Amino acid sequence: MTIDIDRAEQIGFSPAPPPPRGRLSPAVGRILGAVSDARGLKRLAVVLATYIACMALFALVVALQHASPWGVYDTLFRSALVNDGALAEVLTRAVPISLAALAVCIPARAGMVNVGGEGQLIVGAVAACGVGVALGGKFPGPLGWVLMGLAGMAFGGAWAVVPALLRIKLAANEAVTTLLMNFVANDLMLYLIYQPWKDPTGGGQPESRPLVGNMVLPNLGNSLTLSMLIALAVAVGVWALLQRTGWGFALRVVGGNQDAARRVGLPVQGLLVSSMLAGGALAGLGGMLNLAGSQLQLVPGGTATYGYIGFLAAFLGRNQPVKVVLAALVFSAIFIGNSGLELNYGLDGSVVDVLLALLVAAPLWLSRGRKEAF
């Protein structure tokens, strides 16, 4: 009997030798096992070649704009890793991106597609701004942060629950409705900052009143801020929620096979809605942290497509919290380079989108031969 290796790998059976036990972690062992035979090496080479090809495509685009590709990559590298304050910038931006990415992960476990991270970030920031400005700078800090966070989570969750309900009650596809809600959220924010919430001291610029005094999340020294710690804690919490609680397990069952979940007696509709609620709440919290930790004011484009970048990071990280946060960090690092590219090479502000898209196109291209959809 011949063994069809491709089919065997598809169903998860690996003919490779078992990973070495002992001091090496299973992941490292698996990597070593994968690379140690010829097929694994070939696969690795293909993966590397794809990423290099994508980076070369970006270099081509940049060259067409009369900018040196080496210089561009050098600027990106420096902005992310070398320059003063680079690390702080990267981590600061990684906060909303990673929370938006986690906001995609939780509903994805249950099989729901949440593309509304952007809108949920925005309404979370709006809610936090409303609470923070109303409370004022003299209100006790920690209590104020909690209130802002709760407001952000509530509004973000609500923004996600609406499409969720539309999906379960009326079979309206949530990928499309969450997308449309993003635009509504953006218009809502623009309305608020151009009219009722406009900052009278802002010199005519469209922005809301800034958060002041105790409402601002503090720096903890050494380029670490409270919002980063909170985001990290939340990421760990999401991992624990998904991997170590009954709810997380139930979500996975629903995501795997809704009919089976229903027959086993799981409250499928409630789980679907609660997964979107949790996702939206996470993104709302991310919006609040972004506002209170770094932006301090609502401005047009304040969330700068972080929601969509979070979606791409979630895709890259295969919806697993640890990998997703790592992907978010990488994307944040690339994103930082944007202003440098604008300043040094006169490239348009959206040029980084091209690089990000190409970097996600690489694993999409490599989808062939994988059983799962991502």
Binding site residues, another protein, CB under 8 A? 61, 64-65, 107-113, 115, 166, 170-173, 175-177, 179-184, 187-188, 190-191, 194-195, 255, 308, 311-312, 315, 318-319, 347-358, 360-361, 364-370, 372-374
268 and 254 Cβ atoms separated by less than 8 Å: yes
Q: Provide the phi-psi class of 319: left if phi over 0, else alpha when psi is between -120 and 50, else beta.
A: left
C-alpha to C-alpha distance for 358 and 368, rounded to whole angstroms: 17
**Whole-number minimum distance, CB 350 to another protein, in Å?**
4
124 and 293 Cβ atoms separated by less than 8 Å: no
**Whole-number minimum distance, CB 113 to another protein, in Å?**
5
168 and 304 Cβ atoms separated by less than 8 Å: no
254 and 272 Cβ atoms separated by less than 8 Å: yes
Nearest by Cα to 102 from 291, 294, 310: 310
C-alpha to C-alpha distance for 348 and 355, rounded to whole angstroms: 13
**Whole-number minimum distance, CB 299 to another protein, in Å?**
14
C-alpha to C-alpha distance for 276 and 270, rounded to whole angstroms: 10
Closer to another protein by CB, 115 or 135: give it.
Answer: 115
Closer to another protein by CB, 62 or 230: give it.
Answer: 62
Closer to another protein by CB, 218 or 369: give it.
Answer: 369
- In single-letter form, the type of residue at position 153 comes to M
Give the C-alpha distances (Å, rounded to integers) separating 197 from 189, 302, 339. 10, 15, 28
Question: Dmax of the chain from CA atoms?
Answer: 80
**Whole-number minimum distance, CB 53 to another protein, in Å?**
14
Q: Provide the phi-psi class of 205: left if phi over 0, else alpha when psi is between -120 and 50, else beta.
A: beta
**Whole-number minimum distance, CB 304 to another protein, in Å?**
12
Closer to another protein by CB, 186 or 223: give it.
Answer: 186
**Whole-number minimum distance, CB 167 to another protein, in Å?**
9
Closer to another protein by CB, 235 or 356: give it.
Answer: 356
Closer to another protein by CB, 172 or 236: give it.
Answer: 172
Closer to another protein by CB, 182 or 294: give it.
Answer: 182
**Whole-number minimum distance, CB 18 to another protein, in Å?**
27
Residues 6+ apart with CB under 8 A from 296: 210, 211, 216
